[in-house]
Amino acid sequence: MMLLESDLRADVDPKAHTTVRRYMDETGAEQQRGPSRSAALVAACRMLAAELPDSEALVNDPYAHLVADEASVAAARVDEPLQNTIRLRSKYIDDAVIAFAGTHRTERGQMLLLGAGLDARAFRLALDINVYEIDFPETLTLKAELFGDIAPLSPRAVVPVDMAEQSFVGPLVNAGFDVDQPTIVVWEGVINYLTNAEAESVVEQIGTILAPGGQLVADYVELSWFKKQGFDGATKKISAQLSNGGEPLKAGLRDAAGTLDRFGFDVIDDEAVEDLRPRYGLDARKRFYPARIFTASRRP
Enumerate binding residues for ligand SAM (CB under 6 A): 36, 38-39, 42-43, 115-119, 135-136, 139, 162-164, 188-190, 193
Q: Which is nearer to ligand SAM, 26 or 180 (CB)?
A: 26
* Min dist. Cβ of residue 228 to ligand SAM (A): 27
Which CB atom, from 193 or from 265, has the smaller least distance to ligand SAM? 193
DSSP letter for each residue of 163-184: TTTS-SHHHHHHTT--TTS-EE
The least distance separating ligand SAM from the CB of residue 106, rounded to whole angstroms, comes to: 28
Distance between CA atoms of residues 154 and 135, nearest Å: 18
- Whose Cβ is closer to ligand SAM: residue 195's or residue 299's? 195
- Smaller CB distance to ligand SAM: residue 130 or 133? 133
- What's the closest the beta carbon of residue 117 comes to ligand SAM, in angstroms? 3
Q: What share of the chain is helix, strand, coil (3-state, %, to 5)?
A: 45, 20, 40
Of 260, 269, 272, 248, nearest in space to 298 by CA: 260
Nearest distance in Å: CB 43, ligand SAM: 6
Q: What is the Cα Rg of the chain in Å?
A: 18
Residue nearest ligand SAM, CB atom distance: 117
- For residues 131 and 148, what is the distance between their CA atoms, to the nearest angstrom? 18
Minimum CB distance to ligand SAM smaller for 111 or for 190: 190
Nearest CA among 46, 180, 172, 62 for reference residue 114:
172
Distance CA 193, CA 249 (A): 5
Shortest Å, Cβ 54 to ligand SAM: 21
